[in-house]
Amino acid sequence: MKKSILSLCLIGGIFSVLPAVAGPEEDRLAMVKYYSDRFPDVPMQEFANGLYAFDQSAREQWIEMEDFPPYEIAIDDGQVLFETPFANGKSYADCFDNGGIGVKQDYPYFDADAGEVVTLELAINQCREANGEKALAYMIGELAEIAAYMAYTSRGNEFAIQVPLDSPGAVAAYSAGKQFFYTRRGQLNFACSSCHIQSAGLNLRADRLSTTLGQATHWPVYRSKWGEIGTIQKRFAECNSQVWAKPLEAQSVEYRNLEYFLSYISNGLELNGPASRR
């Protein structure tokens, strides 16, 4: 018998798979064990595919859509934008290791000098501003297309997010992201974990909820309901709105810390973005 997400989330408190006091790697291993036990027939790498890892009907439709993926144009447009020189003659390639090719698995990272988490999208705009260009909107549009191209060049690389234990700032940022993930908010009193741990694999209206493991592997994403490609922080804002909480600004400290936490939890999984979702 299928249970509704609302009935599950109203039963008791947030279910947490992570120890109350633990380091990032203990958290990640606990999360891996939890989902391995809960979905024993799902190969670990499949969690990078979201609900398509365990919803066979949705998976078949998704595989068909991948024959002519709706994000393909965004990749092409993103490549053109990435390779177009700035007014000063430099380009994005001058701002990133390896010319910006195949580097997404290293983002986000904690910048000890700046004392903050740097996401790929933030780094793209930092590159623009350092070269006399105006910043781009963070959630959709040209920046999302550039990020989509960079993600495409990183496909097959495994997430390798670092949280140096000898860096109090990095540990604090990771811990803040973890706290955000487990904190209830909005009029519906939901946390991220309410859906993506407590109710992962269960139905929410016509869809099944994805797991926390793999949440960060496939961005940017073309969502049918958006009709365009968008960044992971667009999804954060949308989730906040759906629980009737006020969304934060894209690239706020809170959202960057949350992305840091989610990306670390997906360490060892291959990047497969950009992707398509309903």
What Rg, from alpha-carbon coordinates, does the chain have? 18
* End-to-end CA gap in the chain: 24
Instruction: Write the DSSP symbol of residue 44.
Output: G
Using DSSP, state whether 179 is helix, strand or coil.
helix
Strand 275-277 to strand 221-223: parallel, antiparallel, or no bridges (unpaired)?
parallel
| Known catalytic residue at 195 | no
Among 9, 95, 127, 239, the active-site one is 239
74-106 burial, b at 16+ Cβ within 10 Å, e below that, comes to: bbebbbebbeeebeeeebbeebbeeebebbbbb
* Count of Cβ atoms closer than 10 Å to residue 47 Cβ: 25
Using DSSP, state whether 220 is helix, strand or coil.
coil
pLDDT over 70 for what percent of the chain? 92
Using DSSP, state whether 174 is helix, strand or coil.
helix
Q: Tokens in use for 55?
A: 């919803």
Q: Are 78 and 145 in contact (CB under 8 A)?
A: yes
Q: Are 215 and 204 in contact (CB under 8 A)?
A: no
Q: What is the pLDDT of residue 16?
A: 56
Task: Please give the Cα distance from 84 to 206 (Å, whole number).
Answer: 42
For the cut 90, the answer to whether the pLDDT of residue 1 exceeds it is no
User: For residue range 48-86, what is the model confidence (pLDDT) as tens digits?
Assistant: 998 888 888 888 888 888 889 999 999 999 999 999 999
CATH numbers and ranges of domains, the chain:
1-278 (1.10.760.10)
Q: What is the pLDDT of residue 87?
A: 98
Q: Tokens in use for 3?
A: 């249970």
pTM for this structure?
Answer: 0.91
Chain mean position to CA 42: 20
Helix H or strand E encompassing 147: helix 142-152
For the cut 50, the answer to whether the pLDDT of residue 170 exceeds it is yes
Q: Tell me the backbone φ, ψ of residue 38, rounded to 5 degrees.
A: -75, -35
pLDDT band (50, 70, 90) for residue 109: very high
Q: Tokens in use for 266?
A: 């997906």
The residue among 63, 37, 50, 61 whose CA lies nearest residue 201 is 50
Average pLDDT over residues 106-123: 98
Q: Tokens in use for 102?
A: 């195949």
The residue among 274, 206, 197, 273 whose CA lies nearest residue 57 is 206
